[in-house]
Structure 1
Amino acid sequence: MKTMKLEIVTPSGLIYEGEARMVTLPGKEGEFGVLPEHAALVSLLDTGVITVETADGKEIMIAINKGYVKVDENKVSCIVDGAVLINDEEGKLAERLEEAKSLLRSAQTSDVAIATAVSKVESIKKAY
């Protein structure tokens, strides 16, 4: 299956970089998915969770507060104000979920967007 490069950057530095089969992004007008060879676009991102299907089929979630995304045929670049990588590789899932919820609640956006994003993060906790 085809993949594309994904990078997520904050003012503090690179949060995530890797190959992805699909990326779901929280756009200002609603969630949208990006596959390899997607048409080029630039879009605003709202408070929410970026979902990444990696090249090896794993799912990674990254909570963000706001930013923008630039999509090319083989690359997705997200520039965001704040992000928390939600991942259980180091056994710190509970701590990262709390960081993610804190980041989302501090966002300067609509209450609906914040509630939706926090709900999504809390559902991750139930899945593990």
Structure 2
Amino acid sequence: MKTVPVEIVTPERKVFSGDAQMVIARGGAGDLGVLPGHTPLATTLKISAVRIKLPDGSEQLIAVSGGFMEVKPDKVTILAEAAELPEDIDVDRAERARQRAEQRLAASGAENFEYRRAELALQRAVNRLQVAKTRDRK
């Protein structure tokens, strides 16, 4: 079974480093799956979970809040604005962030700059909560 080395880094730290059978991420143009030997590409990343299929058949989810992914035939590198493993997510904090974002959305007009900021905050909070749920399934 072929694998490809994967690194996920943020400005603060290296979040993940290891081999993968496949990496699934939500790029600027949609979802994409990367296998070993993939054609080189670079893409922006949306706020979403990155799925890493590990050599043992298990799957690692990582909450990513935007950034870039560079794919080479022999390596995948994700440079994320923020990234968290399920066990690192503070669920109470993420839930409070979700509630604040929903309140700001309700109070802002759809054309308002604050409305867009609240939308992004809500996406980040929901993504973190969804990824955090995976730790309970293990």
C-alpha spacing 1:17/1:100, structure 2 compared with 1 (3 Å): farther
SS at match of 1:47: strand
Structure 1 residue aligned with 2:91: 98
Q: Larger % of strand: which?
A: 1
| TM-score with structure 1 setting the length | 0.76
Give the number of the structure whose alpha-carbon radius of gyration is greater: 2
Query: How big is the shift at 1:15?
Result: 0.6
* Total equivalences in the alignment: 119
Work out the CA distance in 1 between the residues paired with 2:31 and 2:133: 17
The counterpart of 1:114, out of the listed 108, 118, 123, is: 123
Q: TM-score scaled to structure 2, two decimals?
A: 0.71
5+ residue gaps, structure 1: 87-92
Aligned partner of residue 5 in structure 1, secondary structure: strand
Question: Identity over aligned residues, as a percent?
Answer: 29
Q: Which amino acid aligns with 2:91?
A: E
Displacement, 1:56?
Answer: 1.6
Q: CA deviation at 1:117?
A: 3.2
* 1: CA distance, partners of 2:42 / 2:83: 19
Alignment root-mean-square deviation, CA: 3.1
Partners of 2:76 and 2:46 lie apart in 1 by 16
CA distance in 1, matches of 2:63, 2:44: 15
- Structure 2 unaligned segments of length 5 or more: list them: 102-115
Instruction: Identify the structure with the greater helix proportion.
Output: 2
Q: Tell me how far apart the structure 2 counterparts of residues 110 and 40 of structure 1 sit (CA, whole Å).
A: 32
- Give structure 1 regions of 4+ aligned residues with deviation exceeding 2 angstroms: 99-102, 104-111, 115-128
